A and B are shown apart, each in its own frame.
Chain A
């Protein structure tokens, strides 16, 4: 079996909601093999997005350890975690989250610039990626001129441009119609699988989940293998 790229050990995480405490994870553990596609299914508010935040180092667990590519994120400083995320992780959000004041091309180039990799070779790669997502001719447009599907394709290109080992996708098709959603998933298939990139994807849809190597759900604060959730959509 391949080396695990993500390892969660004894994770505990809870949030304060008014007077009471809502426990999201209670002694949860998980190991994700490099190159595998792991999809998380679950009801709204079950903690799927929290898991992505923990894996990306955006949030920290109350207890337990989060290791990504050998680095214990919970032992890194805020700045180190940011740099780690910048260099090793690609993010795709449900609401695209493109920077409205940057053009399509600039949005894609941003992670490269942040990582200090803005070389002519990399620029070419960005161009190829935009071509691959079918938006080479819109590179100078601003996000608000694009449709939802187009915006999400730009977001995919942005997530992949610096060739991260791990891509985290938070309901990437949740805001799109079925056909457009399929196109985006196709992109993942074409661009991630050949490169052996690990994908952790949160979704409501059990149809989307058929693409996964492994399906997880969160039950009473613990990560369990398998779907079969009452809240899952066909």
Chain B
């Protein structure tokens, strides 16, 4: 007990060091937990929604972009006598700016499938739902939010048309999980949905509940035999799985960034614990002389670390939950921008993420403490091991550490070269390079401070020399602090260069891709990437502009297939524009003929990467006439979708999919027509329709905005990593201050003014910042190269330009020096203010 009291009082005597250590762990844990929480919440919300909506369905019959004919349901239900089947029509609606999923069902065939349909036993609700136009059901909470009572009417927008809906009743899910999942869902009768979504006579899918085993397989074959060309049957979970896979790379990238914060946090803990041991080497020596065994010393240090770890973890988890809800918003926004519409309204507290954070926090603290605890127990039980001995022992380890670092970096590089490692291999390699590089940092610090010493001497005289020497003399602390700062700053450089390069690439790509002057689309973004078709009358009106301007029509759809969904973008494009497409592979002139006739397609770079396709290979798509092979005529750069797209001429699309609808139009002004006039003409003809008309410049601007929004979360994580490093530097400097109090008191005693002492300490700090900044440049550039050529390529299949500007690098060094300087202000002021008499009086 007495021994523990000695340890605990030691912690309390240096409250700031303890607080900083706790803060370091807390920040690391908070970032990891928050990202985990956000990723998991988004993933779970999506799965829940998909599962609740799919209900007990085991299989789904799905069709092409225009869905399935209604007769198919009758065939399955009546001719095959399959009672466990229900038709579904689904799409998106806007309710005062918020997107809701509209699910149209047949109340009579529902009961075996979905649990939320229990309310249908109420006759009046059922009657309303089936007879009143626009009758829908929603959750009580959603209705209350809008102040709606049963029977109330309210407006909703679908495909640019405004409808009046009526609240026929309240959805009453049986459990909390379904309640969360149905938060953004409206349920209505199938006929209502068909009318609202413009799908009269069509179904989105047919849900089936099939028995397992041979009986099920038999039924499955029967159903398959009645399917029209273009329809297919898939297990109900497959769709959720495919969407889950789609965002996997995105989520993995976030997780890696959050782990980086934890790595920096571990440096911080390592630094704190090492210092706590180094500072107490005398005390430990005394205890050992008094008969305290190695194991007891080891246990004492580990227990102390455990307490710091637990305190930091608890604080980190609390902060992580708060940060998590903000990150969830960012993640959801990015997923909505890039992948599909999803809303995570209520964040369920996820025990898995919390446990993981807790385990990681405590384990990381203990792991970071281990070297220090081992060093303490390895020290001889003499109370006279001097600091210079500790430091010189450390310095002897520098070449060994550097060798290990080089080996680790080479191992990391080997991982980059093995294509099979995938994204995880890419990140593992990146982490190996980062950790390897940090092992080189102490050697770098020694080299650089020797290099910079003359400069400091010139500027500050012998005080400058002292500062330069101080950095090397206390390498055991400055080395770790510098390494932590190097990791954080280099991450900033790496991610900054990558994002900058990506942005530039996207801007260049937009220049090639967006060739028309004016674009028109439906204002409804309910379906995420997929917009509802434009009103055919509007399309006809706008086609009347042909002659004054060149008009093109396009349509973006998702084609479900056996191996997941494929995004098909069909466009009616003139040869001149086609030839200017950003081709990566293939000859535009050769590709044109077959493309324009609908015989061949183009695929985007990510698509070719994911499916290992080259010009001459072919893509299989399920058309309305069954599966068909389309030869790949070329590969083009495209940054609009990370899952990749297939581009087809409109002629080919209409012929193969029987869908004549249009969701986008573009206009290129003819000779003598100004852009302003063209915009006016298009807007005039669009009239009251709910469409968006934008100029080329505006569309480019909007796309870049979406891009920047996507990377907002990266910026937040980068900042947090920097914050962890800042705390690291602060704690290292505070530790040095405690350690060197006596040494500096002697300097004060021999005549250094407080200002001069402040100068020495600040000189050291700035030197650490400068060295860290300079050392982080090569690592930052390597990180950027890995992110661009390994991680991004493996995650998304994108080729990006590498653009390093000197400003970025200078900025990083300035940031590093500023962080170190700021972190040094308080400790240096404290040192300068300490009375020399007080410091000298203290034991050794």
User: Which residues of A are interface residues toward B (Cβ below 8 A)?
Assistant: 53, 56, 58-59, 78-79, 82-83, 85-87, 89, 91, 93, 95, 97, 99-102, 106, 109-111, 113-115, 144, 158
A101 surroundings in chain B (CB, below 8 A): 5-7, 9-10, 13, 283
Q: Name the residue in B7, B283, B287, B843 with the highest tally of chain A Cβ atoms < 10 Å from its Cβ.
A: B843
A99 to chain B: closest residue by CB:
B6
Q: Is the CB of B380 within 8 A of A110?
A: no
Chain B contributes a number of interface residues (CB within 8 A of A) equal to 27
Q: Is the CB of A95 within 8 A of B844?
A: yes
Stretch touching chain A among B62-70, B292-300, B459-467? B292-300
**B827-844: which residues lie under 8 A (CB-CB) from chain A?**
842-844
Pairs of residues from A and B, 8 with the lowest C-beta to C-beta distance, nearest first: A86-B291, A101-B9, A97-B286, A82-B293, A85-B291, A101-B6, A113-B2, A58-B381
Residue B3 is within 8 A (CB to CB) of chain A in the complex: yes
B381 surroundings in chain A (CB, below 8 A): 58, 82
A82 to chain B: closest residue by CB:
B293
Q: Is the CB of A99 within 8 A of B291?
A: no
Contact pick for B289, options A58, A109, A115, CB 8 Å: A58
- A82 with B382, Cβ < 8 A, contacts A95-B843, A101-B13, A106-B5 known: no
Q: Please, could you name 22 A-B residue pairs with CB atoms under 8 Å apart, sorted by A?
A: A56-B289, A59-B380, A59-B382, A79-B293, A86-B292, A86-B293, A93-B286, A95-B844, A97-B286, A99-B6, A99-B283, A101-B5, A101-B10, A102-B2, A102-B9, A110-B3, A110-B6, A113-B1, A113-B3, A115-B291, A144-B843, A158-B290
> Closest CB of chain B to A66's CB: distance in Å?
15
Q: Is the CB of A100 within 8 A of B295?
A: no
Q: Is the CB of A79 within 8 A of B294?
A: yes
A100 surroundings in chain B (CB, below 8 A): 283, 843
CA distance A93 to B844 in the complex (A): 14
Q: Is the interface of B mostly helix, strand, loop or mixed?
A: helix
Residue B288 is within 8 A (CB to CB) of chain A in the complex: yes
- A111 with B291, Cβ < 8 A, contacts A58-B380, A59-B382, A93-B383 known: yes
- A79 with B295, Cβ < 8 A, contacts A86-B290, A110-B290, A111-B290 known: yes
A53 surroundings in chain B (CB, below 8 A): 382
- A106 with B289, Cβ < 8 A, contacts A95-B843, A101-B9 known: no
B292 surroundings in chain A (CB, below 8 A): 82, 86, 114
> Closest CB of chain A to B261's CB: distance in Å?
33
B842 to chain A: closest residue by CB:
A144
A109 surroundings in chain B (CB, below 8 A): 2
Q: Name the residue in A99, A106, A113, A158 with the highest tally of chain B Cβ atoms < 10 Å from its Cβ.
A: A99
Q: Is the CB of A106 within 8 A of B293?
A: no
CA distance A100 to B383 in the complex (A): 14
**B263-317: which residues lie under 8 A (CB-CB) from chain A?**
283, 286-295
Q: Name the residue in B1, B10, B293 with the highest tally of chain A Cβ atoms < 10 Å from its Cβ.
A: B293
Q: Is the CB of B383 within 8 A of A99?
A: no
Q: Is the CB of B1 within 8 A of A99?
A: no
B380 surroundings in chain A (CB, below 8 A): 58-59
A59 surroundings in chain B (CB, below 8 A): 380, 382
Q: Is the CB of A97 within 8 A of B289?
A: yes
B289 surroundings in chain A (CB, below 8 A): 56, 58, 85, 91, 93, 97
A111 surroundings in chain B (CB, below 8 A): 290-291
CA distance A82 to B288 in the complex (A): 8
CA distance A83 to B294 in the complex (A): 11
CA distance A83 to B134 in the complex (A): 86
- A82 with B294, Cβ < 8 A, contacts A95-B844, A101-B10 known: yes
